[in-house]
Amino acid sequence: MRGRGGRAISEFETFFWVIFAGATVGLVFDFYRSFRRWQNWGQILTFFGDVTFSLIAMVILFYYFERANALDFRLYIIWGSLLGLGLYLRVLSRFALRAFFGFYRFIAFLAELIQRGIRIPIRGLVLIMRPPFAILQWLSLLLFRIGEVIFFKRVVNTKIKLREWLKTLLPPRTNG
């Protein structure tokens, strides 16, 4: 048999690559399902994730089948990849899932540390800016009250004068 680059490879090596292809698909599947469970995806995201996983699995199988026997379709390719998937799921899957969830917890821990690290300068900035903001708030309220005293009476007087002027333009009402 000819493998990649026209190099002759043995049946054992071919079968190894085919089994390894199935195990790799199983590892990617465990990563995908653990990530999906960790993120609590809904039905729509799960559907798109399943389609993406299927495409990735197809690329993985294509790569290893090409490496194993230059994409010569043989029945043992299917059986070997199913055997590799079954062996992976039976033997290594639970350890991989634990490792993935541990990795996710570690990532969440790092994200929390980064978030806390960002909060510290922001809290410091809030403390530094509190007195100037209070002064500006007091000053703006003072200016509003002064403007209210100065302009409110003029606006009310203008409104009353406008009503009186409009009354002079209209004919008088008759009660009859």
Give the 3-state secondary structure of residue 42: coil
Which of 1-15, 44-58, 91-105, 125-139 has the weakest average pLDDT?
1-15
* Of 129 and 152, the one with more pLDDT: 129
pLDDT score at 157: 83
Choose among 50, 51, 43, 28: nearest CA to 100: 28
Model confidence pLDDT, tens digit, residues 96-134: 999 999 999 999 999 999 999 888 888 888 899 999 999
Q: Is the pLDDT of residue 6 over 70?
A: no
For the chain, domain boundaries:
4-123
pLDDT, mean over the chain: 87
pLDDT band at 72 (very low <50, low <70, confident <90, very high): confident
Question: 110-127 burial string, b = 16+ CB within 10 Å, else e?
Answer: eeeeeeeeeeeeeeeeee
pLDDT band at 7 (very low <50, low <70, confident <90, very high): low
pLDDT score at 143: 92
Other C-beta atoms within 10 Å of 86: how many? 14
pLDDT band at 94 (very low <50, low <70, confident <90, very high): very high
